[in-house]
Structure 1
């Protein structure tokens, strides 16, 4: 994939390119992680070159980055999984092989999101939404059934004493709560299909995640 578009950064139009990342982009991909997750976030949880090499080798179609003036400013990564892998409860680590995606199923019907991030200075330019849109296009291009992934619920800890994770998720959809991650995914067209306990170690989300999908409308229309 390679596409160019205009986004607005601080009210000014700038041209970005969204494309597949390759081995030559590894340093830029790690730099994105450093900016998005600065200390005290553990540096050993940033992408490493071995993980990135697996991404571009096993499923290059699911390895996308956003570039501005030769600098990488955002990325999104996915893998294909099958129904067997999705059976029962799962965690981010189990679904993504800890970010290495060695469990990528070439014939899997679901594109599972591993990670999406945009550097702080560009987060209001809509790049995250465009990266997600490009993954939807990848789903359609490959003829897959859907896109799926777990989204953090970072505002849930404020309400966890009085509402369950499922009630919180329903409340976001109903407009009773606003959550920076889940509200973003809803604006991107993702739909909630449930919650997952012990999805990732995340105190703000009380270790829960919302499972959010986007179904291929062309597959659904074909029955």
Structure 2
């Protein structure tokens, strides 16, 4: 039976000022604005063809509405997070983003799977100081527990890697970030959100800044053995 629509009201802080925020399930009425948010969150050199389109968004809310969430700040749509359930087996070869998510159409969603897989998270740049990305991830931690899944998993971009690729392998770069010797805007953020590295995926996404690599970052359900 489908879960009730997600809805969580709370406050974020703009400096010392509380601002009302709301995480909720997104709907077809949000699609046009969600595509605009994608263009703001992922400007060039990120490929525009990898932004969401309406058919993909329709699939998200039809196939797995529990994993399709957006966040409003004082009534303004500010970001979103999208996920699907997959069945991940130990030792299985790492797949690309397109393979896991069916090019973002999530027809690979498997209700009987064991892992909540993040297909995308994005926040409008002007709202990023409010910590909305962390709130969106925490919402999916709640979904992971509610659906009794083993873990949350997703491939994190490595936008700082391009500057170090001549000297470090992707795995060495991640080790340097985890040690604190290098700060990566995405990996460091995910570490702050409680995620831990679980492997490196080559040819994960067409992403010049990451040299095509991603680090798989997981959050294990604390109520599962």
Q: TM-score category by the smaller chain?
A: over 0.9
Moved over 6 A (4+): none
Q: What is the RMSD computed on CA atoms of the aligned residues?
A: 1.7
Q: Structure 2: any 5+ residue segments left out of the alignment?
A: 1-5
- Give yes or no for the alignment of 1:196 onto 2:195: no
Q: 1:40 to 1:174 in 2, by over 3 A?
A: closer
CA distance in 2, matches of 1:38, 1:207: 17
Aligned to 1:150: 155
Aligned residue for 1:27, secondary structure, equals helix
Query: Is the 1:65–1:75 contact (alpha carbons within 8 Å) kept by the matching residues of 2?
Result: yes
Q: Which has the higher helix share?
A: 1
Q: 1:43 to 1:161 in 2, by over 3 A?
A: closer
CA distance in 2, matches of 1:154, 1:175: 16
CA shift, 1:22, in A, is: 1.2
Q: 1:204 to 1:43 in 2, by over 3 A?
A: closer
- Give yes or no for the alignment of 1:28 onto 2:68: no
Taking structure 2 as the reference length, the TM-score comes to: 0.93
Residue from 62, 81, 94 that aligns with 1:57:
62
CA shift, 1:41, in A, is: 4.9
CA distance in 1, matches of 2:46, 2:193: 27
Query: Is the 1:51–1:100 contact (alpha carbons within 8 Å) kept by the matching residues of 2?
Result: yes
CA shift, 1:43, in A, is: 3.8
Aligned residue for 2:94, secondary structure, equals coil
Query: Is the 1:30–1:47 contact (alpha carbons within 8 Å) kept by the matching residues of 2?
Result: yes
Q: Structure 1: any 5+ residue segments left out of the alignment?
A: none
